[in-house]
Amino acid sequence: MVTVQGLLIGLVLVALVAAAPGAPLMVERVDGGLRHEASITKRAFDPGESIEITITIRNAGVNPVSLTFFSGQRFDLLVRRPRGDEIWRWSHDKAFIQVIQSIPIRPNEPLTLKGSWDQRDYQGRRADPGAYEIIAFVTGRIVGSERAPIQLPALQFTIR
């Protein structure tokens, strides 16, 4: 039989594991039948370590949903300090083909996008140790919707 004390110990252990620096971090947003998720592999990184960001878009509905993109850009990533100072943006040094493309996403089918940050700011300087946030944007628009881009909640992490 499960006791209250045993249940509390279990909950504390789960919370400790979830808050551990090596634990992955994921945020999500549901919009128009699509579940958008952004994740990083852990919550704390060594200086200079590449930070990989994965964005997964999954159709949570029963009918196909199409995302329309108005350029070759599918996503963007913004790195900032918690007070809002922008450090780096994935798209800042990129050019994108100007093309309109609709991508159908079938039920439960994922569309996965990946990007990374090398911990350098716009001037190429290494980012200082401390707290940061990554905000992922999906630049596509759900067919029939006027909203774009789709902004996910911030992923908060630390550079040691």
Could you report the per-residue pLDDT of 71-89, keeping only the tens digit for each? 999 999 999 999 999 999 9
- Supply the pLDDT for residue 114: 98
CA distance 49 to 26: 19
Q: pLDDT tens, 25-62? A: 999 999 888 999 999 999 999 999 999 999 999 999 99
Q: pLDDT tens, 108-158? A: 999 999 999 999 999 999 999 999 999 999 999 987 777 768 999 999 999
CA distance 88 to 30: 26
* Residue 48 identity (one-letter amino acid): G
CA distance 79 to 8: 36
Mean pLDDT estimate for the chain: 87
**3-class SS of residue 9:** helix
Q: What are phi and psi of 23, to 5 degrees?
A: -75, 140
Superfamily of domain 22-159: Intracellular proteinase inhibitor BsuPI (2.60.40.2360)
**3-class SS of residue 124:** coil
